[in-house]
Chain A
Amino acid sequence: MTALKKIYQSLITKWQAITEYRFFLPAFFIVGLLFCIVVSCFDLMDQYIQLILMYIGINIILTVSLNLINGYMGEFSVGHAGFMAIGAYIASLLTIGVFPQSSGSFFFPLAVLAGGIGAALIGFLVAIPSFKTRGDYLAIVTLAFGMIVKSIIENIDAIGGPRGLLGMDKLSTLPWVFFWTALSVWIIRNLVYSNFGRGVLSIREDEIASDLMSVNTRQVKVIVFVVSSFFAGIAGGLFAHVLQYINPRMFDIIKSTDILIMVYLGGIGSIAGSILGAVIYTVLLEVLRPLGVWRMVFMPLMLVLLMIYRPRGIMGLRESRLFTPISDLLSMKFHRQKKEADNASS
């Protein structure tokens, strides 16, 4: 027992040392990207596992971006799949129709980006009227928005209507998904710890107080909503090119519920939590596949139990050291040492 404790202690100190090392995350990014490129070029991994990894990446993007609204800002949005659908359709239409098929892989990032920008524009249109009042208003508006997007796509025959859209090449490869995932996590993490991000957090804690502290709450909310829908659009573009087939029913309310579950499973207001939530949910769904229909019975049951015994999710409102800024870590360390010194002297 004591031996185990010792090992745990030494691991903790090592972990602290690693997280205080400035270049750990960039190094992790480069190594991971190289690893993904090597794996997908030389086909070192089972195709099925690669597919699961790509799904995990896409789900991480979705979860982290929804966490920005639901976790950090404390609003309740339920229409994330709608933005995903917009991104997926724009990106697929671009790669099928506009960009030359032969050099599709060069234009793929542009297509994904365009999908994100399209989703962000629509997000802007939704956000302007949604933040007139607080509370469940946003939930209702985004709910209606998700259903409107689905019905509109079903009614446009030129993009396949209810039959769906197919003919995309398999352009989403493991390195691309890794790149976009890392990029979105990086951007959202920096956004949260920026000056602007503090404003976002203050809205969650007390909107009136933050208004009095000269945070332009309306503007901050709109910007956060636009950023979040941008990343949902990007995830949609990637998703369409993994599956090579999309139809409007994929992006209905059940998909939005899935994303919500990942956010609240991992814990609100935590990037590490979102990543954990997306990974656990995606992997569990795959591992439990032999159970057939019953796995879909156990997943919600687990969610309910989790909510009853840990209402904030796995990492609720706590952040892994990996994603906290170095300055915060150092000041935390300084205060801890000072406290220990005080205790020792007294």
Chain B
Amino acid sequence: MIYILQQALNALQLGSIYALIALGYTMVYGILTMINFAHGDLFMVGAFFCFLIAVYLKLSFVPTLLLSMLGVASLGVIIERFAYKPLRNAPRVSAIITALGVGLFLENFTLALSPYPQHIPTLINSTTWNLGGVSVSSLQIIIIVLSLALMFILDFIVQRTKVGMAMRAISWDKTIVPLMGVPVNKIISLTFAIGTGLGGAAGVMYGLAYPVIDPYMGIMVGWKAFISAVVGGIGNIRGAMIGGFILGSVEIMVAAFLPSTYRDVVSFALLLILLIFRPYGILGKPHPQKV
């Protein structure tokens, strides 16, 4: 029982990181119907920003997190402006291939600058408490609470503010909304900034939880976060959060009870089974094709 509780805590930690990244995928998909395959690599860039700031500027945790989020968000906006915007009216596949290309570029550029895995210094002096046999570290608590807080802020922005209303409107109908005086380009840039900023925050937290970072770490984590977004129903923000936690728990539980090499097989097989029964994810709605 205690073992399961312990693993549940780990699942919550991993799941909140997946959920933060999945939010970036799902926001961009919702507004542009484009899969931003470079998102996992932006997550990696976030971890590297955290490394640079922590080592060279020697800042503490909160400024490091904020600066990394800011850096990744501006990178995301730049990528959107120069790589995706010219393709907004091109065939959808060209945009996807461009995203793959941008992702490869980020990976290899980081690899060229830093060929060896780097080690992030400890920013938080983690203390471990023992709650009835379950060991809880303050780092885990910080990661879980911070990601939940970020998700609630995002949910508030999207559901309650004017900007969020504009985002939802654009994802509803892209041709009418500009006629209503909504500055579409600004809203899309803002969506990219928020989505990639969350990815950057996830990168910082991942870097603190698993301190060895390398340029290819974004691939696997990114694809898994994408799958979480699909499980929750891509384009749906609350779905992405749920999907992230589901995938995190499945992975941790598989690793806890089976040999850990089966982790990927089981989680992807579960994805396929889920998609057979609910092709649009848990919270996604089917959108029938109109003639």
Contacts and interface: CB of A to CB of B under 8 A. Distances in A.
| A, B from the same assembly | yes
Contact of A76 (B96, B265, B279): B96
B262 A260 contact: no
- Sorting the interface of chain B by its residue count into under 10, 10 to 19, 20 to 34 or 35 or more gives 35 or more
Contacts of A167: none
Interface string B25-44: 00000000001000000000
Given A144-B272, A148-B268, A303 B93 contact: no
The prevalent SS among residues of A at the interface is: helix
A303 B291 CA distance: 34
A208 B265 CA distance: 35
B281 to A, nearest CB: 10
A297 B289 contact: no
Contacts of A76: 93, 96
A307 B90 CA distance: 9
Contacts, number: 120
Given A129-B276, A297-B108, A143 B261 contact: no
B227 A148 contact: no
Interface in A245-264: 253-254, 257, 260-261, 264
B104 interface: yes
Nearest to B100: A257
Contact of A129 (B101, B112, B227, B272): B272
Nearest to A209: B291
B272 A141 contact: yes
Interface in B216-269: 219, 223, 226-227, 230, 234, 259, 261-262, 264-265, 268-269
Contacts of B94: 264, 307, 311-312
- Sorting the interface of chain A by its residue count into under 10, 10 to 19, 20 to 34 or 35 or more gives 35 or more
B98 A308 contact: yes
A144 B104 CA distance: 19
Contact of B91 (A141, A148, A254, A311): A311
B252 to A, nearest CB: 17
A260 B230 CA distance: 22
B97 A147 contact: no
Contact of B223 (A141, A147, A311): A147
A230 B227 CA distance: 27
A118 to B, nearest CB: 19
B271 interface: yes
A208 to B, nearest CB: 5
12 contacts: A76-B93, A129-B272, A129-B276, A133-B280, A144-B227, A145-B272, A148-B272, A151-B265, A300-B101, A304-B102, A307-B87, A307-B95
Interface of A: 70, 76, 129, 132-134, 136-137, 139-141, 143-145, 147-148, 150-152, 154-155, 207-208, 253-254, 257, 260-261, 264, 268, 293-294, 296-297, 299-301, 303-304, 307-308, 311-312
In the A-B complex, the 10 residue pairs with the closest CB atoms: A300-B104, A311-B94, A303-B101, A311-B90, A296-B108, A300-B105, A151-B264, A144-B268, A300-B101, A293-B112
